[in-house]
Amino acid sequence: FMAWFTLFVKDMNILKNLNDITKNILFVMGNEDFTFISGVKKKCKRIKDSKLQILKHCGHVCNIQKWEEFNDVSLKYK
């Protein structure tokens, strides 16, 4: 539990650091990422020119579960 909790706290600190970003960011999330998706949706609404791409049928590690789709979305983002 402590190992998981430590990772969770680190992820939350990363989200807090997004306050410094004011525009043009891509969020790629899995639709089954129940821990972070609601917070990222709120963040995306507040950051100008940001985009949220939600990949279906995957969770928090969408860059591994759907790596081809993740890479495609990431490489096409401008």
Confidence class for position 13, pLDDT limits 50, 70, 90: low
DSSP letter for each residue of the chain: -HHHHHHHHHHHHHHHHGGG--B--EEEEETT-TTTHHHHHHHHHHSBT-EEEEETT--TTHHHHTHHHHHHHHHH--
Check residue 26 and give its pLDDT: 93
Confidence class for position 78, pLDDT limits 50, 70, 90: confident
Predicted TM-score (pTM) of the model is: 0.71
Tens digits of residue pLDDT in 47-73: 888 899 999 999 989 999 999 999 999
- Give the integer Cα–Cα distance in Å for 33 and 54: 10
Q: What's the one-letter identity of residue 38?
A: S
